[in-house]
Structure 1
Amino acid sequence: MTTEVSGPEPAALEAMRADYARVAEKPPARLIDGLVLLAGLGTAISPWAAGFSRYGDVSMTNLISGLAVALVAAGLSAAYSRAHTIAWVVPVVGAWIIVTPFAVQQTDAMTPIVINNAIAGGVVCFLGLGSFALEVLAPRHPVG
């Protein structure tokens, strides 16, 4: 017993992958992916660079969020044609970075943490929206 799977033809899939590969090779895509990677790494080290590493909850959250952003950016840089569907994760994590101090940290030293996370989260969110826009605006071949 065999079943047919309906979906795009292999030629259409190859054409879509070629389109995404062309988008990934353009300088704006490389620039945005590189900046997203740097923003993620900057967020990851920010508790130690900005001097609030003694606040464990927010420090670990920044570290994990920053590394997640950096991993997504590395995936987009290395294999955009296969990883383009996860570009939406970066702005979501950027928004999480902004609200982290309020969600996980209750301390009297909130001002430096809030300022740091607002800047880092805003940059990650903005760059993530740019990366996501590249995915949305990529040329499409009709499927079928």
Structure 2
Amino acid sequence: MTTHSSIEHHPDLAEMRTRFERVTSTPAAQAVEALALITGLYLAASPWIAGFSVLGPIAVNNLIAGLAFCLCMGGLGSAYERTHAMAWTAVAIGAWTIVAPWVIAGPMDVPRTIVSNVITGAVALCLGLAMMAMAGDRRTRDT
């Protein structure tokens, strides 16, 4: 009977952790994380900033989506090797934010809701894609 060593000591895992640590220590990764946190906070507060808090369901949606986006992207800098897959969730939240005004509130006469959500959603989507791309960036793998 053979005994297998712990996966924690596998050479591929150690190499992957080292690569992810290099990714998160770059200025680009830190900038993406900072912009993502600002984007998530704006999304959470956007009903009150843009002045559409009277639309109950969309205001609640933006609050929850913004906080979820902050949690997803906020963990990437400190534990990227365990949380990089959550960047997919950030992309999904960005896409949802873009379509949410039409899905939740239906046709409405509040263009600032649509403009705020579309711009914020597009930024969130791009930041999520940027964070996902950093894991596969050859420049950080080969250094």
Q: Aligned pairs, how many? A: 139
Amino acid at match of 1:34: A
Q: Provide the C-alpha distance between the structure 1 equivalents of 2:78 and 2:113, rounded to a whole number of angstroms.
A: 32
State yes or no: 1:56 paired with 2:59.
Answer: no
State yes or no: 1:122 paired with 2:126.
Answer: no
Which whole-Å deviations, capped at 9, do the CAs of 1:75-120 have from their partners, x for residues lacking one? 1022112111211111111010000000100363331111110111
| Partner residue, 2:13 | 13
Q: Provide the C-alpha distance between the structure 2 equivalents of 1:120 and 1:127, rounded to a whole number of angstroms.
A: 11
Provide structure 1 residue ranges, at least 5 long, that are not aligned to the other structure: none
| Partner residue, 1:110 | 110
| Partner residue, 1:134 | 134
Amino acid at match of 1:94: G
Provide structure 2 residue ranges, at least 5 long, that are not aligned to the other structure: none
Q: Secondary structure of 2:108's match?
A: coil
Q: Provide the C-alpha distance between the structure 2 equivalents of 1:64 and 1:22, rounded to a whole number of angstroms.
A: 31
Q: Is the CA contact (8 Å cut-off) linking 1:41 and 1:66 kept in structure 2?
A: yes
Amino acid at match of 1:78: S
Amino acid at match of 2:63: L
**TM-score under structure 2 normalisation?**
0.87
| Partner residue, 2:67 | 67
Tell me how large the CA RMSD over aligned residues is.
Answer: 2.2
**TM-score under structure 1 normalisation?**
0.87
Q: Provide the C-alpha distance between the structure 2 equivalents of 1:34 and 1:55, rounded to a whole number of angstroms.
A: 29
Q: Offset of 1:2 from its aligned partner?
A: 8.4
Q: Provide the C-alpha distance between the structure 2 equivalents of 1:2 and 1:57, rounded to a whole number of angstroms.
A: 58
More helix by share: 2
